[in-house]
Amino acid sequence: MATTQDRLRQSERLEELWKQPSAEPARTRVDSHPPVREASRETRDWSRPLLVAWIATMVAIYVFEPRPTDPTATPLWGTILLMTFTYALFGSILGLATRRRWGLGASVLAGGLGVIVAGACAVTGHHTGGFLIVEGVAFTGLAAGSLAAMRARR
């Protein structure tokens, strides 16, 4: 008998619960962006400005580059250095455009090689004048910006 009374009480309790108004679930905020790790999000923030800066700098350098003082003055090591810089530049642009982690590293490498290329022009006598200073300052700024982006990502 006790078992029947327990079941009767339980069913009465369930009926009371059934008659109560339903509680509305708390509304949750729907995030339109999928979850992204913080490092990727910070890399995305830096990749676009660096990409634009690299493209603008390279266009300006190629447009305003003066004629070489002595076109035959470039030694083999200078040509190898320039090719290495070019590959690092393309890697940097590709990495920054696709927002890859290694894009910032390639950007630092390309900036450092750009500073060395500017110094090599002065050493070999390929270019003279104020262009070397502008080129060196531009590449130093790009390398510094890339390093700052790498540190902010950590």
Euclidean distance between CA atoms 8 and 21, whole angstroms: 22
Whether residue 134 lies inside any domain: the answer is yes
Range of the domain at 112: 38-153
Whether residue 32 lies inside any domain: the answer is no
Residue 64 is predicted with a pLDDT of 87
C-beta separation of 112 from 136 below 8 A = no
Whether residue 26 lies inside any domain: the answer is no
C-beta separation of 43 from 101 below 8 A = yes
Whether residue 140 lies inside any domain: the answer is yes
Q: Is the confidence at residue 38, as pLDDT, over 60?
A: no
C-beta separation of 115 from 136 below 8 A = yes
CA 135 to chain centre: 23
Average pLDDT score, the chain: 82
Whether residue 58 lies inside any domain: the answer is yes
CA 6 to chain centre: 66
Q: What is the CATH number of the domain that holds 143?
A: 1.20.1270
Instruction: Say which residue the tokens 């002065």 belong to.
Output: 122
Number of domains in the chain: 1
C-beta separation of 121 from 127 below 8 A = yes
Q: Is the confidence at residue 8, as pLDDT, over 60?
A: yes
Q: Is the confidence at residue 124, as pLDDT, over 90?
A: no
Mean pLDDT of 132-150: 91
Whether residue 63 lies inside any domain: the answer is yes
Whether residue 17 lies inside any domain: the answer is no
Whether residue 79 lies inside any domain: the answer is yes
Q: What is the pTM of this model?
A: 0.68
Mean pLDDT of 71-79: 81
